[in-house]
Structure 1
Amino acid sequence: MRDILGLLIHLFSLAGTDFLFPAMEQSHLLNALKLALYEDRGQLQGNLSELVNSMAENDFAEIAGDIFSKLQYIASARKALVRYRTLLSRPTPSHPLTYHSLLHQLMADVLHPDCPDLPDLTCKSTGLKDLLKSGFSLLLNRPRQQHPLDNPQLIVFILGGITAQEVKLVQDMVISSGQQTQVLVGGTRLLSPNDTVEAIFFKDPLMQQAL
């Protein structure tokens, strides 16, 4: 069951809001989730395990619905972003879809030598130097937004956790870019696929509302 949930998290995250599942497929998925939860109820852990142990087979439809709601939320998590709304791209109709994670896309823009605008990042000017720069930019009618590469050091900190593969990804991108900015990478924890499933479905405080 954990493997199934992990795959569903990955699938819905990839799909985002670009790919919508037909109503019939959603119904099939809900029924499959209900059946899998019932058959694997003895292997579940955390709050979900406590909940299903006292339920009859017909009650598992509600749990499957809650899981599906969380998956839909995961799919829509990037809808407010401007540049990083999709993780899949196709250069031409004849090419297959290519996957680029949100972190990969963000770091590619941050490290780009042309320093493109980053509408999904905000920076609040507080220092006198920044205020003077902003003032001169307004006088010249050329607004100058601050860019992460304006700083000698850049901290990339991932709330919720970061994987070892993502750490290596950032490291390789910094080296290949040739930028002199020192990039420090961190996160609230080092994540594994099981940690993601645990955090979303088994340790989520919202699940306690059903207990």
Structure 2
Amino acid sequence: VLPPLPGPGGPGPAEVGLGALPAELRAAVRALVGDLDSLFTGLGLREESFAVGALSRVIAAELASYAPARNRRRTATNKASVIFVDRTLDLAGAVGHHGDNLAEKILSVLPKLPGHKTDVMVNMVELTALQTTDETCSIIAPGCLAQPNDPAAKALWESFMNLKQKEAVMEARRHLVEAASRENLPIKMSMGRVTPEQLSSYIQLFRNNLKALENHCGLLQLVLATVQTLKHPQTSKWDNFLAFERLLLQTIGESEMPSVLNQLLPMIKSYNERTKDDYACEDFLVLLIYIYSVVGEIKCGKELDTAEEEVKKALVKAICDEPEPSPLLQKITGCDSSLNLTSQKATDAMDGIFRSLRDIARVRMHMKQFNSIHNPGSNTHQASYKPLLKQVVEEICNPDRPDPVDIEHISSGLTDLLKTGFSMFMKVNRPHPGDHPLLIIFMVGGVSVSEVKMVKDLVTTRKPGTQVIVLSSVLLTPHSAVELLFAPDRL
């Protein structure tokens, strides 16, 4: 479920109802509401629903009026606030590289496990006697991240999610050393920085000991995932992205959109001109989403049109020069090989992408409080990105409890409506998302690992004693966000 982008001069958010959505999206919303009701029934919840964004309002209203949910709320005793937030209001959080998080990098760079949305394939050749340099060796079944029956692996995955990368890699070494000691394997301890080579040498010890392999198979898969991620060329690009995003934040504050786009132009290179450190075509789509989402409303005019046309032309040329389009480019252009990929098809795809980018820039225009995710900076502070999700959580945890402006309460029946009506005339407190001991935040359209960690940390410091659950339709990585937005079959 991805919130549709507003078209130019499209309906204001208040005018979108379930009936106005395309049939597929309507079906997806109804299915989601049914699933959420089942979950809340299992937890015995009586929830108050809130929404930030147009599709979130539709989902919250559907949940409020869903007959089984109304029956459940009459008898359930555990109170909770459920806040739905539209992903499209802040796409910089989905495509940005700000999280110093190992789990996020593993999910971003390793290939997806076939048939799975989130889990990845871990190459297991290192644990066998097979001598091959083939990265995609398909004789050996792949490993994965989900290890429900291995307590050590589950604990290590929690560390990957919640610790900084350096600490998480040290945790991986600690778990591996403990496992090797338990199996009496001849491990040489070494202190200092953990390298992928060092982890590989520890993994080798398990290779010829079948019993040890069997006992610690889950843990070994997670450590192998770590080694493969740290060695992956895309990981070294991660810091380049982060540096460039920081530079963009400064530039956006100081100059107009055309000059920001002109900075990108010389960096767009064809396949034959690129080195391993240069950005590929889909990397530019990631950066463009970041730019348009952070900038917000832009001044349209001839200068912007010209700058966009130049970037479009450069990207079309680069896409057509690819010897073989990547899976992501295949989905975006609808062409499965370079033979079918004509300049016209690439141009059509680019035109569609830039229309969507303009919509992305417009998406917060109806917001009063959360209308910006860019801190322009000052003489003493650098410009920075302020995540929408962080602003929402800070508002919920605000000890002064002002009436939220953009977090809309969705009433679930006559009693609620009366309460809201009376509150205009009498001292009746309107429902506030910070009222209850359990806070559930549902990101409609996907959430990233670093956002989940940010929400948990914020609630722990700002509102200790409140339990928080972050739910979403998918765990996002920068490239999966591009696919969700620009591939024709978004649902």
Alpha carbons of structure 1 residues 80 and 132: separation in structure 2 relative to 1, 3 Å: closer
Q: Which residue of 2 aligns with 1:98?
A: 384
Q: Larger C-alpha radius of gyration, 1 or 2? A: 2
The farther-off stretch of 101-110 and 164-173 is 101-110
Does the Cα contact within 8 Å between 1:154 and 1:181 map onto a contact in 2? yes
Residues 88-167 of structure 1 mapped to structure 2, 5 A cutoff:
88-90=374-376, 92=378, 95-126=381-412, 134=420, 137-140=423-426, 142=427, 144-167=429-452
Aligned-residue CA RMSD in angstroms?
A: 2.9
Does the Cα contact within 8 Å between 1:48 and 1:201 map onto a contact in 2? no
Q: Distance in 1 between matches of 2:317 and 2:490?
A: 24
Does the Cα contact within 8 Å between 2:286 and 2:478 map onto a contact in 1? yes
Q: Distance in 2 between matches of 1:67 and 1:128?
A: 44
Q: Distance in 1 between matches of 2:479 and 2:438?
A: 33
Does the Cα contact within 8 Å between 2:446 and 2:474 map onto a contact in 1? yes
Q: CA deviation at 1:92?
A: 4.3
Q: Quick check: 1:7 aligned with 2:287?
A: yes
The farther-off stretch of 33-42 and 164-173 is 33-42
Q: Which residue of 2 aligns with 1:175?
A: 460
Q: Quick check: 1:27 aligned with 2:309?
A: yes
The one-letter code of the counterpart of 1:72 is R
Q: CA deviation at 1:192?
A: 1.0
Aligned pairs, number: 205
Q: CA deviation at 1:111?
A: 0.9
Q: Which residue of 1 aligns with 2:7?
A: none
The one-letter code of the counterpart of 2:452 is V
TM-score (norm 1): 0.81
What stretches of structure 1 move > 6 A for 4+ residues in a row?
none
Encode CA deviations 1:137-167: one digit per residue, 9 max, x unaligned: 4443x56432101122111011111111001
Q: CA deviation at 1:126?
A: 4.1
Does the Cα contact within 8 Å between 1:41 and 1:53 map onto a contact in 2? no
TM-score (norm 2): 0.38
Residues 72-91 of structure 1 mapped to structure 2, 5 A cutoff:
72-90=358-376
Alpha carbons of structure 1 residues 132 and 186: separation in structure 2 relative to 1, 3 Å: same
Q: Distance in 1 between matches of 2:306 and 2:380?
A: 29
Q: Secondary structure at the match of 1:148?
A: coil
Alpha carbons of structure 1 residues 143 and 41: separation in structure 2 relative to 1, 3 Å: farther
Q: Which residue of 1 aligns with 2:319?
A: 37
Q: Distance in 2 between matches of 1:93 and 1:143?
A: 45
Q: Secondary structure at the match of 2:407?
A: coil
Does the Cα contact within 8 Å between 1:111 and 1:179 map onto a contact in 2? no
Q: CA deviation at 1:121?
A: 1.9
The one-letter code of the counterpart of 1:4 is F
Q: Which residue of 1 aligns with 2:353?
A: 67
Alpha carbons of structure 1 residues 135 and 8: separation in structure 2 relative to 1, 3 Å: closer
Does the Cα contact within 8 Å between 2:320 and 2:341 map onto a contact in 1? no
Q: Distance in 2 between matches of 1:135 and 1:69?
A: 41
Q: Distance in 1 between matches of 2:312 and 2:459?
A: 43
Name structure 2 gaps, 5 residues minimum.
1-280
Q: Secondary structure at the match of 2:468?
A: strand
Encode CA deviations 1:157-209: one digit per residue, 9 max, x unaligned: 11111111001000110111034332211111111112111212235359xxx
Encode CA deviations 1:116-138: one digit per residue, 9 max, x unaligned: 22222221344787567556644
Q: CA deviation at 1:5?
A: 1.2
The farther-off stretch of 37-46 and 91-100 is 91-100
The farther-off stretch of 17-26 and 151-160 is 17-26
Does the Cα contact within 8 Å between 1:6 and 1:194 map onto a contact in 2? yes
Does the Cα contact within 8 Å between 1:41 and 1:49 map onto a contact in 2? no
